[in-house]
Amino acid sequence: MQAQEARARALQNPSEFWAEQADQIDWFKKPTQILQENTDGTHTWYADGELNSCFLALDRHVAAGKGDRVALIYDSPVTNTKKTYTYKELLDAVALFAGALKAQGVGKGDGVVIYMPMVPEAGIAMLACSRIGAVHSVVFGGFAAHELGVRIDDSKPKVILSASCGIEFTKIIEYKPLVDSAIAQAKHKPEKVIMFQRPEVKAEMIAGRDLDWYEIQQGVTPAECEPMKATDPLYIMYTSGTTGKPKGVLRDNGSYAVALNFALRNIYNMQEGDVWWGISDIGWVVGHSFIMYGPLMGGCTTVFYEGKPVRTPDAGALWRVIEEYGVNGIFCAPTAFRAIRKEDPEGELFRKYDVSSLKHIFVAGEKLDSPTYHWLREMSQKPVFDHWWQTETGWPVTAPLTGMGESDMLIGSTNRGVPGYNVQVLRVDGSQAEADEMGSIVLKLPLPPGVAQTLWNDHERYLSSYLQTFKGYYHTGDGGYIDKNGFVHIMGRTDDVINVSGHRLSTGEMEEVVATHPAVAECAVIAVSDEVKGQLPIGLILLKDGVKIDPAQLEKELIALVREKIGALACFQKALVVERLPKTRSGKILRAILRKIAEGEDYAPPSTIDDLSILPEISESLRVAGITKT
Ligand code: AMP
């Protein structure tokens, strides 16, 4: 099928198109109901289908005689470890761990929080959960105890799976004190904590609650795959919204499997036996879709890397891994290439390695700036494809269909809509924008398989966040335009969500944390652009009347507070005390103007502004503090 034909067919007759795609995967019970519209505007895919995601990822390959193929390559420069698992070995490990979870009382529909670094055991845990129908929620290891606690309270896990430590470059981060503190802070108390003890650190265990990863596997019977309804939840993945409460994006089993199979083959052009490397972490959606489930369901070898693009040991790390395992395709956030470029601008380290196995480089997660694109393209001589998606969608919305022979790349664009996604741009009043006209990027309903149709325990928030802004459309929260050739240009978020090193964070959440400091009366957190990390948050602080505090000391305390409550990944490193903040007459802080002033961009003060004289004043404060870009 040609790419344009696929796009047209998926829009004209979604049921027919996605029934054909459903035929490409193995079902326990093939669906006869393909697409249903619900009264609230959401849709249900494959309502009467039954399958198991772990079966698709492991058992079916072993049953087909491919058990000796390498399923997972663990490469950990931070521990000097390399290990491979064949499909058969991975299946055995997963089935045994699933049996152990069952023996601990974990079953279908139970919640399991996984707070682990990039060790294969974390991937084994995810698959074991899906095998027995437990709903996993992986929390990125970089999140602090408070954030973990918030997610525990929301997902109410029966058990928590964790490891004794993570390793950041050479620094050992003990996880157990964080887990203990998170549980202490949370109202919901999980029954058990199952700890994977790494040789680097031995975690202190609490008798009666904490169990050892291997001890619980002694003598248990490996678990079989639980038949799951297509609509049963597979996992919850928390992502930042505009408030302090993260959104629990809920993924189903059936439509996700169909979407991942379609994406792996047609977007990334990965076939059985190919080596694929999703350069991310299992704590993010990429880790779910394109480190674990996607490549394994597709019979590929997936690279599981516990390291960084630089300093583990150097900026040649990515190229070394590609050469060593003959990697055929990669997915990475642009920030990684910016970091590599900073350290190896001339590509001296790049030239030490043979990357001829690589077909192409996919990037997503944040804007790909053109200097980074050109540097990467010229040095690697590989096609570099920008593509765009979100935690909620679970798989790419706009991308080239390289598996259908497409190789278009337009710098500054994230390519055209993928079959099944009807991407459009709307004006504020809901009317259709012209070609090249900026507006809100929306997806006309129905959404294709794989995209979340609800938030965990908060369907109302799903409806209000995504479906109610423009009736009949999913509101992505991104602004941009579509050019006359159908290429989508994403300009950034239209809400208070920012992107630091490809990590999605909420400025609203940071404001809530900063505001808890006793000296702070009010604050605004805005993002300013950064050469390596894409964006960086900056806090503008109004002190409470009468408070006397050294601004440098306050900044130090606020940095520590955000680090403690949200985590180092927020990169909150600047807090500036100001006299006043620009507001509308109704009291809303004008963050967009603050950001423009900080970026040195032109701005037109809105007519709703309360006091125009604040703008030059704040402009001067930002300039003196060295924040304003020149
Ligand atoms: P997340 O849910 O963490 O994957 O973040 C999704 C958000 O990241 C999107 O809404 C965009 O704002 C941004 N994003 C993802 N991919 C791209 C891209 N290729 N170009 C620009 N922004 C992107």
What was the pLDDT predicted at 504? 86
Confidence bin at 492 (pLDDT 50/70/90):
confident
**Number of the ligand 1 atom closest to the C-alpha atom of 364:** 19
What was the pLDDT predicted at 62? 98
What average pLDDT does this structure show over 450-455? 98
Domain ranges of the chain: 516-624
CATH class of 516-624: alpha beta
Residue 220 Cα to ligand 1 middle (Å): 43
Mean pLDDT of the chain: 95
Query: Residues 220, 103: contact at Cβ < 8 Å?
Result: yes
Ligand 1 atom 9: residue of nearest CA: 390
Which residues neighbour 553 within 8 Å (Cβ) at sequence distance 6 or greater? none
Ligand 1 atom 6: residue of nearest CA: 390
Of 64-68, 126-130, 226-230, 611-615, the range with the lowest mean pLDDT is 611-615
Residue 417 has pLDDT above 90, yes or no: yes
* Interval 580-608: pLDDT, tens: 888 877 677 888 889 999 998 888 777 77
Element (H, E) at 428: none
Alpha-carbon distance of 30 to 13, in angstroms, equals: 19
**Number of the ligand 1 atom closest to the C-alpha atom of 503:** 3
Pick the closest to residue 390 from 445, 441, 329, 459 (CA basis).
Answer: 441
CA–chain centroid gap for 20, Å, is 28
Query: Residues 513, 561: contact at Cβ < 8 Å?
Result: yes
Backbone angles phi, psi at 339, to 5 degrees: -65, -40
Confidence bin at 74 (pLDDT 50/70/90):
very high
Q: What is the 3-class SS of 214-246, one letter each residue? A: CHHHCCCCCCCCCCEECCCEEEEEEECCCCCCC
What was the pLDDT predicted at 506? 86
Residue 384 Cα to ligand 1 middle (Å): 17
Residue 16 has pLDDT above 90, yes or no: yes
* Interval 129-148: pLDDT, tens: 999 999 999 999 999 999 99
DSSP annotation string for 235-279 = EEEEE--SSSSPEEEEEESHHHHHHHHHIIIIIS---TT-EEEE-
Alpha-carbon distance of 68 to 168, in angstroms, equals: 33
Residue 364 Cα to ligand 1 middle (Å): 7
Confidence bin at 242 (pLDDT 50/70/90):
confident
Alpha-carbon distance of 398 to 408, in angstroms, equals: 12
What was the pLDDT predicted at 541? 94
Report, in this order, helix, strand and coil percent for the chain, each rounded to 5: 30, 25, 45
Pick the closest to residue 28 from 248, 225, 235, 296 (CA basis).
Answer: 225
Residue 382 Cα to ligand 1 middle (Å): 23
Element (H, E) at 386: strand 384-386
Pick the closest to residue 341 from 301, 302, 369, 303 (CA basis).
Answer: 369
What was the pLDDT predicted at 495? 83
Confidence bin at 610 (pLDDT 50/70/90):
confident
What was the pLDDT predicted at 348? 97
Q: How big is the chain by its Cα radius of gyration, in Å?
A: 24
Residues linked to residue 51 through DSSP beta bridges, in sequence order: 228
* Interval 327-386: pLDDT, tens: 999 999 998 999 999 999 999 999 999 999 999 999 999 889 888 999 999 999 999 999
What was the pLDDT predicted at 497? 85
